């Protein structure tokens, strides 16, 4: 995930002479722990987020120009031609280095509620889940499905994903001698909607 310039939860969209720190987290290596689909709303300060495996290319061109690219190398990419695609690409330009000015720091929202709000995310599970489409955010698709069909049906969807991963992403005894892929437990940091599975098991919590 990459943020817009961000200070005290306020943000703006500029990546040329940004008035606050731009944060980026890249942790997309392979693992036997599967990531949950996005279920929480993307914050206004979030410039881009992805739920895919891949890597980052960070090029420091000179004293003022930095080029950030996120590359997807996800075996769940659909279509397969998207494997190796650059899914986030931005130049960050800063002509004057030094402490940021508090007076000039962002005071608003990069994408205010109710305003123009383009899709700024990729969730690799969306095609397999059969929810929404290119014009709908994953978290909106999940919320709509759960409202219509209930949490038990959502858990069945997650079970389907786990079964698919076990068959298509290595099979039994592939992940360091262990037979089953698992859901990553992210309840503690708030990035999950509660985790449909208990840690290290397939026991449902609903």
Q: Is the peptide bond before 79 cis (omega within 30 degrees of 0)?
A: yes
Reported pTM: 0.82
Q: CA 30: distance to chain centroid?
A: 15
Residue 48 pairs in a beta bridge with: 2
b/e for 96-123, b at 16 or more Cβ within 10 A? Answer: eeeeeeeeebbeebbbeeeeeeeebbbb
* pLDDT average, residue stretch 94-123: 90
How deeply is 33 buried, as exposed, middle or buried, from its count of CB atoms within 10 A (0-12, 13-18, 19+)?
middle
More confidently predicted of 58 and 183: 58
Backbone angles phi, psi at 142, to 5 degrees: -65, -45
Residue 161 is predicted with a pLDDT of 80
> Mind listing the pLDDT tens digit for each residue in 133-161?
667 888 888 889 989 998 888 888 887 88
Poorest-pLDDT segment among 7-11, 49-53, 140-144, 194-198: 194-198
* pLDDT average, residue stretch 84-91: 93
Structure tokens given for 19: 């008035």
Q: CA 114: distance to chain centroid?
A: 22
Residues 6+ apart with CB under 8 A from 155: 196, 204, 206
> Mind listing the pLDDT tens digit for each residue in 60-81?
999 999 999 999 887 766 667 7
Residue 70 pairs in a beta bridge with: 56, 88
């Amino acid at each position: 995930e990459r943020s817009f310039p961000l200070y005290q939860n306020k943000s703006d969209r500029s990546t040329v002479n940004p008035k606050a720190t731009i944060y980026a987290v890249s942790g997309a290596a392979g693992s036997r722990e599967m990531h949950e689909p996005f279920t929480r709303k993307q914050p206004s300060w979030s410039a881009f987020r992805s739920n895919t495996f891949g890597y980052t290319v960070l090029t420091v061109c000179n004293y003022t120009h930095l080029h950030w690219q996120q590359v997807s190398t996800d075996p769940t990419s659909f279509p397969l031609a998207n494997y190796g695609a650059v899914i986030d690409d931005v130049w960050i330009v800063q002509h004057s280095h030094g402490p940021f000015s508090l007076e000039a720091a962002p005071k608003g929202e990069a994408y205010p509620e109710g305003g123009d709000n383009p899709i700024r995310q990729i969730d690799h599970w969306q095609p397999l889940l059969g929810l929404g489409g290119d014009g709908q955010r994953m978290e909106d698709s999940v919320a709509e499905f759960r409202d219509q069909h209930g949490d038990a049906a959502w858990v069945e969807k997650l079970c389907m994903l786990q079964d698919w991963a076990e068959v298509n992403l290595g099979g039994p005894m592939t992940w360091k001698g262990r037979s089953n892929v698992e859901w990553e437990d992210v309840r503690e940091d708030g990035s999950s909607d509660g985790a449909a599975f208990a840690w290290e098991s397939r026991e449902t919590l609903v």
